[in-house]
Homo-oligomer: A and B are copies of this chain.
Amino acid sequence: MTSQNGTGFIQVSHPNDFLSLYLYAKMEPALYLIPVTLGETELSRVLPAFNAEVIPQIRHFIVEDVRSARRFLKKVNRDIRIDDLTFYPMGKHASPELFASYLCPLEKGESIGVISEAGCPAIADPGADVVAIAQRKGLRVIPLVGPSSILLAVMASGFNGQSFAFNGYLPIEPADRAKRLKQLEQRAYSEHQTQLFIETPYRNAKLFAEILRTCRPQTRLCVAAGLTCPEEFIKTRTIQDWKKHPLPDLSKVPAIWVIG
């Protein structure tokens, strides 16, 4: 059974909807925001089959890291010929002035993909600058579905999902850090808004100790680590309960910290 929808995709349905195949008569030229896994896990664990149909049709990729982007593309489909692709760096050492030029292929009608190091591009990761320029130029931007540790953490925390804020990293300096923690805890109470933040894995144990020291005993803390991976750990407890339960070793596991 085939059908054509508004986007110009021809779709071949299968009795099992998850096995549908999309054949693109003409894929809509766009800046495709392409999520990747959050760690060592199968692509089919976290990415829709649709993404694997779109990706092989893209020839230009704006990426945080070329090597890991190549590895990802090979995993998506080993028939992709990496040498035929063009990669444009958007990592720490890339010059933002170049970003506008990266979008030239799209202005000529060729799709571009954006790939960051983990999870969804432009969320707690580079990519937002490129998207902003695309929006300014009136180019079509299509975000693909994939794993976001922020979203998964809010879902699994049991905290308010009608109002939540992701706050990135806390300040490094101890006094600023404690002040910021207090401020986020205060906002969780006063606005009933769930507060999320992150830390580099090797500092996780230290951050945990700081939270136990700084927050009120009845405040609830959710630690969500290694999401969607075999080592996944998601636990919500009050601060006073956490004081009785040691944290597993998260020194190498990306974690999201949630106060509710």
- Which A residues are closer than 8 A to B by beta carbons? 5-7, 11, 13, 15-20, 22, 33, 42-50, 52, 75-78, 120-125, 127-129, 131-136, 141-143, 145-148, 150-152, 154-168, 193, 222, 227-228, 230-232, 234-237
Cα separation A132 to B234 with both chains bound (whole Å): 12
Cα separation A121 to B19 with both chains bound (whole Å): 24
Whether A44 contacts B20 by the Cβ 8 Å rule is yes
Cα separation A193 to B152 with both chains bound (whole Å): 20
CB nearest to A15 among chain B residues: B78
Given contacts A129-B158, A143-B151, 14 further A-B contacts (CB under 8 A): A11-B42, A15-B78, A20-B43, A22-B44, A45-B48, A45-B145, A122-B154, A122-B156, A122-B161, A128-B159, A131-B156, A132-B158, A145-B145, A145-B152
> Copy number of this protein in the oligomer?
2
Whether B155 contacts A143 by the Cβ 8 Å rule is yes
Main secondary structure of the interface of A (DSSP, over half): mixed
Whether B131 contacts A157 by the Cβ 8 Å rule is yes
Contact for A230 among B5, B33, B78, CB less than 8 A: B5
Whether A78 contacts B16 by the Cβ 8 Å rule is yes
What are the 10 A-B residue pairs with the smallest beta carbon separation, nearest first? A132-B158, A165-B165, A131-B158, A135-B236, A6-B230, A143-B155, A162-B168, A18-B52, A123-B161, A5-B230
- Residue pairs across A and B with Cβ atoms less than 8 A apart, 28 shown, are A7-B232, A16-B77, A16-B78, A17-B42, A18-B47, A20-B44, A33-B156, A44-B50, A45-B48, A46-B145, A47-B145, A123-B151, A125-B161, A128-B161, A128-B162, A129-B158, A132-B236, A134-B158, A136-B158, A136-B236, A143-B155, A143-B156, A145-B145, A145-B146, A145-B147, A148-B151, A164-B166, A165-B193
